[in-house]
Amino acid sequence: QVQPVESGGGLVQAGGSLRLSCAASGRTFSSYAMGWFRQAPGKEREFVAAIRWSGNRQNYADSVKGRFTISRDNAKNTVYLQMNSLKPEDTAVYYCAVRNRLLRNDYDPSAADGYDYWGQGTQVTVSS
């Protein structure tokens, strides 16, 4: 069982930056991926970014490409989301998700049902 814990959210002005962290505790698996999703009030949860634990393939939603960067620290079992040039529409609760199943060719990093464990979320608020 893996428990993701997010941190790093807060208030920031438009154009500013934040760095989110997701630390995975408990029993981990050698083959898995981690992703970031977000949900604004009254909106559906949407995909933001993902990274494979083995290898370095990254995926981003079109809305954040060029502004957000996902990275990892294998020794710390931690994934980061560097968010630059933040916009008010980025305001949401950001969730970290962990996949603990073997990766397959049909793995879709943007699909929520491809992940097995979820954190409680961290609030990001961007003011205009």
Tell me the per-residue pLDDT of 14-24, one tens digit each, with 9 for 90 and over.
Answer: 999 999 999 98
Q: Report the pLDDT value the prediction gives residue 19, as an integer from 0 to 100.
A: 98
Check whether 30 has a pLDDT greater than 60.
Answer: no
pLDDT of residue 27: 65
- Asked if the model's pLDDT at residue 107 lies above 70, the reply is yes
The span from the CA of 113 to the CA of 20, in Å, is: 22
DSSP string, the chain: -EEEEEE--EEEETT--EEEEEEEEES--SS-EEEEEEE-TTS--EEEEEEESSS--EEE-TTTTTTEEEEEEGGGTEEEEEE-S--GGG-EEEEEEEE-SPP-TT--TT-GGG--EE---EEEEEE-
Mean pLDDT of the chain, nearest integer: 92
In the structure, what pLDDT confidence band is assigned to residue 40 with cuts at 50, 70 and 90? Answer: very high
What's the pLDDT band for 63 if we cut at 50, 70, 90? very high
User: Predicted confidence band at 106 (pLDDT cuts at 50, 70, 90)?
Assistant: confident
pLDDT for position 79: 93
For residue 29, pLDDT beyond 70: no
Q: Which residue has the tokens 């050698």?
A: 30
Phi, psi of 68 (to 5 degrees): -105, 145
